[in-house]
Structure 1
Amino acid sequence: MTKQAQQTVLAAELPERGQPLAGGVFITRYWLNGVERALIQLPDELSGAWGNYGVEIKGAGSYSDGEANTRAMAEAGSVIAIKALELDGFIPSCLEGQLLMAAKADGLVELREDRFHWLSTQRSADGAYRLDFGGGWLSNNDEDDVRLARPVRSLIIQ
C-alpha cells in the first residue's frame, strides 16, 4: 500500500518561505483556478526529454497549471512527466517556474544554473518552455532535447 502525499495545509500551519513543508521547501502562496495554494519545491532532479518533436499534446498548454500539463504529458507517454507524478509532484508551469525563480532570487532555494530546466507548458507541437535559473531567461526549445526538471507539489490552503 503506497502512502499518498499530503493534499492540503492549514493556513495557520504554513511555515516561513524557504522552510520545510510536505517533503520539500515551501516556496510561496499563490492562486490557481480560484483556489489558494502552497507551492513546494521537491528535492528531486529529473533529466529527460519533454516529449516528441512535432507532437502537440492537448491539455499541456496551461501557463499556470503545471499539474494539469504534467498529467497530459504523462498520458501522452512523456517519461519525465511520469517520473514527476510518481514522486507525487509535477513539472512546474511557466507561472510556477517563475515563482521558483523568485524564491531563488530571494535566496530561499538553490537551483542549478548550469543547465536549462523544462517547464510543463507546451508552446507548440515542436517546442516547450524552459527556464534558465542562472539569469531567469524563459524561452522555448525542441521537445526532444534532454533537459532537467525540478518537480514541485502544490497543496490547497485551508
Structure 2
Amino acid sequence: MTKQTQQTVLAAELPERGQPLAGGVFVTRYWLNGAERALILLPDELSGPWGEYGVEIKGAGSYSDGEANTRAMAEAGSMIARKALELDGFIPSCLEGQLLMAAKADGLVDLREDRYHWLSSQRSADTAYLMDFGDGWLDYGGKNVERLARPVRSLPIQ
C-alpha cells in the first residue's frame, strides 16, 4: 500500500518553522497565485543537468511557481524534474530558493554549501537559475551542467 502525501494543511496545525511537516521540514508560509501556502524542504538530494542546452522549455519561466516549472521541465525530458515529481515534490523556483536561503540563514534548515543548486526557473534557451546556499548568491548557468537540486513541496493552507 502506497502512503498518500498530505495535500493541504490547516493554519491552526502548522508547526513552528524548522519543524517536521509532510515528510520534510516546514520552511515558511508564502503566497503563490493568490493562495497562501506552506513551503516544505524535502530530505532528498538530486543531481543532474537541468535540461538540454539551447532548448527553451515553454512553461518553465516562472520566477515564483516551481511546481509549474518542474512539470514543464519533466514533460520536456528533464530527469531531475521527473525524479522530483516522483517524490511528490518539485524543484524550487527563484522565489522558493530565496525562501530556503532565508530559512537556512535563520538556522532552520541545512543545505549544502559546497555546490550550486538548480532552481526550476529558466532564464533562456541556454541557461537556468541556480543558487549558492553558502552565501545566497543567485546566478544562472548552462542547462547541460550537472548540479544538485533539493526538492520541496508546497501545500495550500486552509
TM range (shorter): over 0.9
What is the CA-CA distance between 1:122 and the residue it aligns to? 0.2
TM-score by length of 2: 0.99
How do 1:39-78 and structure 2 match up within 5 A?
A: 39-78=39-78
Question: Which residue of structure 1 aligns with residue 150 of structure 2?
Answer: 150
4+ runs deviating over 4 angstroms: none
Question: Which residue of structure 2 aligns with residue 111 of structure 1?
Answer: 111
* SS of structure 2 residue aligned to 1:56: coil
What is the CA-CA distance between 1:156 and the residue it aligns to? 0.3
How do 1:20-31 and structure 2 match up within 5 A?
A: 20-31=20-31
* SS of structure 1 residue aligned to 2:67: helix
Structure 1 unaligned residues grouped into runs of 5+: none
Question: Which residue of structure 2 aligns with residue 98 of structure 1?
Answer: 98
* SS of structure 2 residue aligned to 1:100: helix
* SS of structure 1 residue aligned to 2:31: strand
TM-score by length of 1: 0.99
Question: Which residue of structure 2 aligns with residue 4 of structure 1?
Answer: 4
Paired residue total: 158
What is the CA-CA distance between 1:108 and the residue it aligns to? 0.3
What is the CA-CA distance between 1:87 and the residue it aligns to? 0.1
Question: Which residue of structure 1 aligns with residue 123 of structure 2?
Answer: 123
Q: Percent identity?
A: 85
How do 1:124-143 and structure 2 match up within 5 A?
A: 124-143=124-143
CA RMSD of aligned residues (A): 0.7
